[in-house]
Amino acid sequence: MLAVAVIAGILFVWSLLAHRLSRWSITAPIAMMVAGIALTGGSDPPLRFDLDTAVFEHAVEVVLALLLFVDAIEVPGGILGREKALVLRLLAGALPLTLCATFLAGYLIFPDQSGWLLAVLATVVVPLDLAPTAAVVRDHRIPARLREVLNVEGGLNDGIVSPVFLLCIAVAAESHGAHADYAGALLDAVEAAAWALAAGLAVGGAAGRLLRTSWSHGWTQLSAMRLGVLAVPVAAYALSGALGGNGFVASFVAGVCFAPAVQRLPKSAVEMTDDLVTLMTLALWFLFGQIVNNAFWDGFEASVILYALLAVTLVRMLPVLLVLMGTGLRPADKLFLGWMGPRGVTSIVFGALAVIDLPDDSADFIARVMVMTVMLSIVLHGLSSEPIGRLYARRAGDRRAEALADARRDDEP
């Protein structure tokens, strides 16, 4: 209970100073992470958590399940948003290229590691999470078109990577056995994905139609509607697990199927689920502080730093710049979309699940690289968000000045 009280107290203090802290790009996830590092570090820390348990594994799966569901239903303007062409290029083009580039970087930097372990690592460090740099999505100095594209990509990116991660982790775990059965591992992963897809489709589609009908006929009320929305990802997760599928994949599929119904429900219908996800992810950021201490107790490795630096910069930027050729976007806008790819909760959850499922040496390797990638992303993307906003504001001011000057010249006799 002491840990709960400490986490709640830190969150309350941050809420009192949120506006002032935002000037230094200190978001709630960053504050919770720093507090976690400070309170779980050292030989005799004030707080310590057992992260290698089935309870923790199920807890992080539930966090990711709810997060994926909320991401899917909060995508504006439909599944791909209003900028379908740009989003499709990023998800269908840049994302696979980024996964391949990340795998190649791992192959070059860590030649002693197995191919399947490097594939797991790629799926861990690639998914986006806008929470550590949430101010960017709300920054009206940045063009609304770019913010929407980034928001939609961030909402769907992790859900698309999830089944790939499950496939890679299943084969990587099997490869460490004395008699590895790769075909069996692949079939089990495909079967789990199929059950997850079926559960998500059934629960999300049926729940969306029922809640929409109930609200339109006046059979329910808003407080009950909020509980109904929260029950959807929980039901998809539980049903998928009972059928032998993966819960967080089912929750994401349920969110995709449920999203059209959300457009016809009150805007506040998803507030309870959204707030619960926020609280759970902030608690996970606190636990991430202990993961940081565990991963780097013996110091840092240059190869890990190099890989993490590439993972949050070039291996995303180059594929994004490539697929955005011919779109008519300004070079600065392409660079913005390529650069702004922060990593966060999804990488933490995938990394934690990999640590639980893999042997000690492989688990330690995944943990170190995941932690370094997330921390570098927080520093680089977090500190750059405010300068990027100022740069766009300056550009907008220059364009307005030029338009005013042109208008004055046109008015001259």
DSSP calls for 224-242: HHHHHHHHHHHHHHHHHHH
Cα 327 from Cα 89, distance rounded (Å): 10
Cα 21 from Cα 178, distance rounded (Å): 52
Please name the residue ranges forming H helices in 44-181: 54-73, 84-88, 95-109, 115-125, 134-138, 144-175
Among all chains, which residue has been given the structure tokens 């004395």? 178
- Whether the CA torsion 302, 303, 304, 305 is positive or negative: it is positive
Phi, psi of 181 (to 5 degrees): -115, 85
Summary count for the chain: helices (H), strands (E): 18, 0
Task: State residue 178's pLDDT score.
Answer: 54
Q: What is the pLDDT of residues 122-177, one digit of tens each?
A: 999 999 988 777 777 778 888 888 888 888 888 888 889 998 998 899 888 877 66
Structure tokens at 360: 């000690």
Helix (H) or strand (E) holding 248: helix 247-262
Angle at the Cα of 225 from the Cα atoms of 221 and 229, rounded to 5 degrees: 175
Structure tokens at 379: 């520093």
Phi, psi of 64 (to 5 degrees): -65, -35
3-state secondary structure of 222: helix
Task: State residue 206's pLDDT score.
Answer: 95
Cα 69 from Cα 229, distance rounded (Å): 10
Task: State residue 181's pLDDT score.
Answer: 67
Non-local CB neighbours of 22 within 8 Å, separated by 6+ positions: 135
Among all chains, which residue has been given the structure tokens 């550590």? 132
Q: Is 50 exceeded by the pLDDT of residue 413?
A: no
Of the pLDDT bands very low, low, confident and very high (cuts 50, 70, 90), residue 180 is low
Q: Is 60 exceeded by the pLDDT of residue 412?
A: no
Task: State residue 408's pLDDT score.
Answer: 42
CB atoms near residue 363 (< 10 Å): 17
Structure tokens at 372: 């370094």
Q: Residue 42 has what DSSP assignment? A: S
Structure tokens at 133: 């740099």
Q: Is 80 exceeded by the pLDDT of residue 248?
A: yes
Rounded mean pLDDT, 347-355: 91
Mean pLDDT, rounded, of the chain = 85
Cα 146 from Cα 408, distance rounded (Å): 31
Q: Yes or no: say if 47 and 40 are a contact pair by the CB < 8 Å rule.
A: yes
Phi, psi of 264 (to 5 degrees): -105, 5
Angle of the 302-311 helix axis to the 314-323 helix axis, nearest 10: 20
Q: What is the pLDDT of residues 263-299, one digit of tens each?
A: 888 888 888 898 899 888 988 998 898 888 887 767 7
Whole-angstrom CA distances from 260 to 185, 249, 255, 263, 363 are: 35, 19, 9, 6, 40
Rounded mean pLDDT, 197-207: 94
